[in-house]
């Protein structure tokens, strides 16, 4: 094997340094691109509701933690694609609080979704779309990642990639 020329070695070294710098700029601390939303970088609208499993959900009590508020509905096909990521995040990250907000007409539909997807996080039935109104939800699915200070820092919609929710939650802890 012929050793590389000094020029070739310098070029390879420079390329390695450039690659490392580029990768560090978008490393694990950088969140994926957020969807545009009127509440981005604004305080999370607090709500206090009872989940379908009977648990009490009070978002004001969650300051100091990363919170994910995930809106979905049984009739929403893209929601069915994004729910597994919310479930996986809730199961793998005890430092992140995931709250589901179901926009279905009936509580029976909400309970069916919780059972079908094995959701272990609290899910609120938003009858009358009151919570959705506070969050200015226009289409489903939508997920909000809230930082420990209570500000909405990332919004994901139907086009979010599989790992985006977990990456966004990790970026703001």
Regarding beta strands 66-72 and 142-146, do their DSSP bridges make them parallel or antiparallel, or are they unpaired?
A: antiparallel
CA distances from 78 to 81, 84, 162 (A): 5, 11, 12
Distance (Å, whole) CA 68 – CA 154:
9
pTM: 0.82
3-state class (DSSP) for residue 4: coil
Residues 6+ apart with CB under 8 A from 38: 136
String of DSSP letters for 25-36: HTSTTSPPPPPP
Residue 91 sits at the vertex; the CA angle it makes with 55 and 108, to the nearest 5 degrees, is 45
In order along the chain (173 residues), what is the average pLDDT of each group of 10 residues? 41 30 44 92 97 96 97 95 95 96 96 96 96 97 96 93 92 88
pLDDT the model gives residue 83? 95
Plot region of 17 (φ>0 → left; ψ -120 to 50 → alpha; else → beta): alpha
54: phi then psi, degrees, rounded to nearest 5: 95, -10
Domains and CATH numbers, the chain: 32-171 (3.40.30.10)
Q: What digits encode the pLDDT tens for the residues 135-171?
A: 999 999 999 999 999 999 999 998 888 899 999 999 9
Q: Hey, which bits of 53-166 come out as E strands? A: 56-58, 66-72, 96-102, 123-125, 142-146, 152-156
């Amino acid at each position: 094997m012929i050793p590389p020329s000094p020029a070739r070695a310098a070029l390879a070294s420079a390329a390695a340094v450039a690659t490392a710098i580029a990768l560090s700029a978008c490393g694990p601390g950088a969140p994926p691109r957020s969807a545009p939303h009127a509440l981005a970088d604004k305080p999370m609208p607090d709500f206090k509701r009872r989940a379908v499993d009977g648990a009490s959900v009070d978002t004001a009590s969650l300051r100091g933690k990363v919170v994910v508020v995930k809106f979905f509905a049984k009739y929403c096909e893209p929601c069915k694609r994004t729910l597994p990521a919310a479930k996986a995040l809730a199961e793998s990250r005890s430092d992140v609080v995931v709250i589901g907000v179901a926009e279905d007409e009936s509580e029976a539909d909400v309970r069916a979704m919780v059972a079908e997807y094995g959701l272990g996080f609290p899910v609120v039935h938003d009858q009358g779309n009151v919570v959705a109104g506070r969050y200015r939800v226009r289409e489903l699915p939508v997920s909000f990642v809230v930082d420990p200070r209570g500000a909405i820092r990332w919004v994901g919609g139907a086009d979010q990639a599989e790992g985006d929710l977990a990456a966004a939650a990790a970026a703001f802890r």
